[in-house]
Amino acid sequence: MPMEKTFDPAAIEAKWARLWESRGLFRPHRPDATPFTIVNPPPNVTGALHIGHALDNTLQDVLIRYERLRGKDALWVVGTDHAGIATQMVVERQLNERQQKRTDFTRDEFVDKVWEWKATSGGQITRQLRRLGCSMDWSREQFTMDAHFTRAVVKVFVDLHKKGLIYRDKRLVNWDPKLKTAISDLEVETHEVQGGFWHFKYPLADGVKLDDGRDHIVVATTRPETMLADMAVAVHPDDARYKSVIGKFVELPITGRRVPVVADEHADPELGSGAVKITPGHDFNDFEVGKRAGFKPAEMLNMFDGDANVIQTADGLIPAEYLGLHRFKRDGIDGARELVVQRMKETGFLIPHVDKDGGEHDAEPRTIQTPFGDRGGVVIEPWLTDQWYVDAEKLAQAPIQAVRDGRINIVPKTWEKTFFNWMENIQPWCVSRQLWWGHRIPAWYAEDGRTFVAETEEEAQAEAGAGVILTRDPDVLDTWFSSALWPFATLGWPDDTELLKRHYPNDVLISGFDILFFWDARMAMQGMEFMGEVPWRTLYLHGLVRAPDGQKMSKSKGNVVDPIGLIDQYGADALRFFMCAMESQGRDIKMDDARLAGYRNFATKLWNAARFCEANGIAASTSLEAPAATLPVNRWIIGEVADTVAAVEAAFAAYRFDDAANAIYSFAWDRFCDWYLELIKPVLSQKPSPLQGRGLGEGHEAVPAPADGPLSPALSPEGEREIAETCAVAGWVLDQILVMLHPFMPFLTEELWTGLGDRADYPLITAKWPAPNAARDAPASADIDWLIKLVSELRTAKAELGLPPGARLTAHFPASLKDRADKLAAQLDRLARLETISFDPAPAGASAQLVVEGETITLPLEGVIDIAAERERLTRALAAATKERDSLAGRLNNPSFVERAKPEAVEKARTDHAAKEAEADRLSAALARLG
């Protein structure tokens, strides 16, 4: 059947996604081929496709489709993460809607409810990835809570514990009082909060005074409630004001606790009073100061329970009136903060802040960078608690060396410095979470305090001995711990499977730079520890997708873009191509609807070009190599194909997705659609169109039959040969475009590939990558490139002079161009639209001068246009454009405007200036052409 007139992305996307997957074409059987492996960053099972997912997975799909076309045994591992906190929250929220809560059920009953939720609602994002065109091996879809994966997670924990690389310790964690669990740094968001800066007097004990006679040290804090657990005051060791009291004590107001004055470089002499209150149980910096001061973590004071309510410290010095209070004011009831400030004020230990008008206030107003839990939505409390930790410092050594010696290639290279800086200063990794959903920690405790870590309870019991009562650790593992095993546990580890042998190490990992440390680095640690080899040979880090104004997308700003909505509007192919064309190493991507619409138009243009080919008897090629060609236009386009294939391959080798996309775009739109199809119309016009009279949409028409009727007896054998050659070359070139474009626009290209030829058993997704076995034909390229430049210059001149594109002019060529003009006579007649070509000298008078490759071609204008009127029009337009250009330049050269105006206003001024500058240049050129 002939192709549809209109390109409709929605009509073909669902069809091909279903056919590819149902026929197993995402993982064709290629046991003897070179393996190529990618694993996807597993999205949360609770998730929906966001624009970052769209970028990340598009880049992966482009690579996997490219390598599949190159004949490799391409495996793209797909799966989802169980997302402990997020999933538990979703299910608990559903329970709350039914007036139930998690604790109404046993742990096992609640976990069963989570599995029920996953079975009914947990597949949204995988369905959306299919809409994007992701050619993952869906037949082996993984889940981090699957039985085989859980076995791998437990084994890793136990083995690391046996090696001393996992241990239990008391340290500070990011505690979410709403979720009642420790969370990772990635799950902490910093918000600006309007708060206060309180100044307190801490009296020196034992009658000690400072050199200036004061009997107290002034400290300042944004968290006055934490003074209930203060354990020291720190001063800089070189601060002359405090040298005499280092090693002395202060007696804290309210609690009466005696705490030492310690010397530590954490205290900045230039900041405030130079003295800092130290609460090691509730501040990460203070924790380190406390350790340096000699406090063991077990000795550090904790003043909050898991809800952030005040509890008694180990020394029993917090007054009873504070116990049970929340840390902040809540539901109109003062919290510990408000009571501390009130009591300090009442006892004269609060130093009021005096504003510029002389007014007194309890605190100095401050904008404070405050950590919030991204899901709980409350202020994070640094909390001293017992957790399980991984010795990340030791595990980091092998990946550091692998990056240094090139076994792991980080792209772009600029990220290596960041990688080394973090890995060389890495802290212990807290891997326990206080949740019910997740991989439960395989540790059991005896009543006498002993701990037994084993893969099963039976093994733990055997180690503990008969009669010893064991209680299992209630915590689960951080989801980053399990996802760190993704490159090898998804392939069957700890079993020594054939899949594991063949596809580990993976070839490439593509990820956002924002999870370099939370996931990428940890995969490198675990992969090298348990497999003895890097998890992947290349780590490609892409940027963020930002709003059109460059801001980071967030729900609070209301600038989040839904990729499914973009697919509905523009088609998946256009969105994919946009992502690749804009993905320039090391740079973020700004959303741009105009570019998306442009790539949808690109798809439509190629569709119409394919319909033109179909209408003129140009069909699918049967040759991988370029057909034999004698006509310059055909030899030229074959060379263009060879150059484009080389450019695309070079771009892929360097992970330049933008260069690869732009190379095929430029060739398909400019060289093939705009020029080649026009250049071959004189050849095709020698025969009738098989679809004569059928409308072909914008851009191309069926070439009309010659006047003497179908298959004119006058058609010479040479003409027949030229037609056959041109149809063969055009069909081959279109096939090469479809293959090269397929990784970027899989739906459109597969539809055209199938529609243009009978190859149902040879779908494009498993076709062969171009191998033209041809090179650029220098003489043919020189001729056609000259023709294209001439026609482009002629069209520009007509536009500048206000002439219609179809206006036929007389042209005077230098005699040196006669042979070339004769050779290209048919193409010149069709494209240049010249009335006559003369090789005599041009007559005197006004004319337009075209300089093409150093040769001057003259177009007499006497009698064609009103020279004086045109010169006047151009002069007025040039003056207006110049005035506006210079006005914009003045604004941009004004530092006040550039520094104070909104960034989008400055950017618009730059864009407008560039446009007016180009307009002025164009008008100047037009005036110059008039002579």
3-state secondary structure of 538: strand
Q: Are strands 409-411 and 536-542 parallel, antiparallel or unpaired?
A: parallel
Give pLDDT tens digits for 410-456. 999 999 999 999 999 999 999 999 999 999 999 999 999 999 999 99
Single-letter amino acid, residue 574? A
CB 396 within 8 A of CB 199: no
- For 684, the enclosing helix (H) or strand (E) is helix 681-684
171 burial (CB, 10 Å; 0-12 / 13-18 / 19+) is: buried
- pLDDT class for 768, splitting at 50, 70, 90? very high
Give the model's pLDDT for residue 202.
98
What's the average model confidence in pLDDT over 22-42?
A: 96
Give pLDDT tens digits for 445-475. 999 999 999 999 999 999 999 999 999 999 9
Task: Name the phi and psi angles at 110, rounded to 5.
Answer: -65, -45
Mean residue pLDDT of the chain comes to 92
CB 250 within 8 A of CB 233: yes
Q: Is the dihedral angle over the CA atoms 57, 59, 60, 65 positive or is it negative?
A: positive
CB 563 within 8 A of CB 53: yes
- pLDDT class for 706, splitting at 50, 70, 90? very low
Task: Name the phi and psi angles at 328, rounded to 5.
Answer: -120, 170
Give pLDDT tens digits for 636-681. 999 999 999 999 999 999 999 999 999 999 999 999 999 999 999 9
Give pLDDT tens digits for 40-67. 999 999 989 999 999 999 999 999 999 9
Single-letter amino acid, residue 317? L
Residue 187 is classified by DSSP as: G
Q: Are strands 589-590 and 545-546 parallel, antiparallel or unpaired?
A: parallel
- For 338, the enclosing helix (H) or strand (E) is helix 336-346
Residue bearing the bigger pLDDT, 903 or 72: 72
- pLDDT class for 550, splitting at 50, 70, 90? confident
Return d(Cα 848, Cα 540) in angstroms, integer. Answer: 52
Give the model's pLDDT for residue 698.
44
Return d(Cα 648, Cα 654) in angstroms, integer. Answer: 10
- pLDDT class for 712, splitting at 50, 70, 90? very low
- pLDDT class for 622, splitting at 50, 70, 90? confident
CB 747 within 8 A of CB 9: yes
- pLDDT class for 714, splitting at 50, 70, 90? low
Give the model's pLDDT for residue 702.
52
pLDDT > 70: percent of the chain = 97
- pLDDT class for 707, splitting at 50, 70, 90? very low
Count each helix (H run) and each strand (E run) in the chain, helices first. Answer: 31, 32
| Closest listed residue to residue 529, CA positions, set 398, 393, 390, 392 | 398
> Would you say residue 696 has pLDDT above 50?
no
CB 510 within 8 A of CB 652: no
What's the average model confidence in pLDDT over 326-354?
A: 96
C-alpha count within 13 angstroms, C-beta hemisphere, residue 335: 17
CB 245 within 8 A of CB 208: yes
Give pLDDT tens digits for 259-310. 999 999 999 999 889 999 999 999 999 999 999 999 999 999 999 999 999 9
Question: pTM here?
Answer: 0.86
Return d(Cα 317, Cα 256) in angstroms, integer. Answer: 7
- pLDDT class for 688, splitting at 50, 70, 90? low
- pLDDT class for 694, splitting at 50, 70, 90? very low
Give pLDDT tens digits for 76-97. 999 999 999 999 999 999 999 9
Return d(Cα 777, Cα 880) in angstroms, integer. Answer: 47
For residue 730, count other CB atoms closer than 10 A to its CB.
28
CB 362 within 8 A of CB 350: yes
Give the model's pLDDT for residue 693.
37
Return d(Cα 708, Cα 478) in angstroms, integer. Answer: 80
3-state secondary structure of 758: coil
Most confident of 232-236, 554-558, 855-859, 894-898: 232-236
Give pLDDT tens digits for 513-532. 989 999 999 999 999 999 99
> Would you say residue 480 has pLDDT above 90?
yes
3-state secondary structure of 253: coil
Task: Name the phi and psi angles at 306, rounded to 5.
Answer: -65, -15
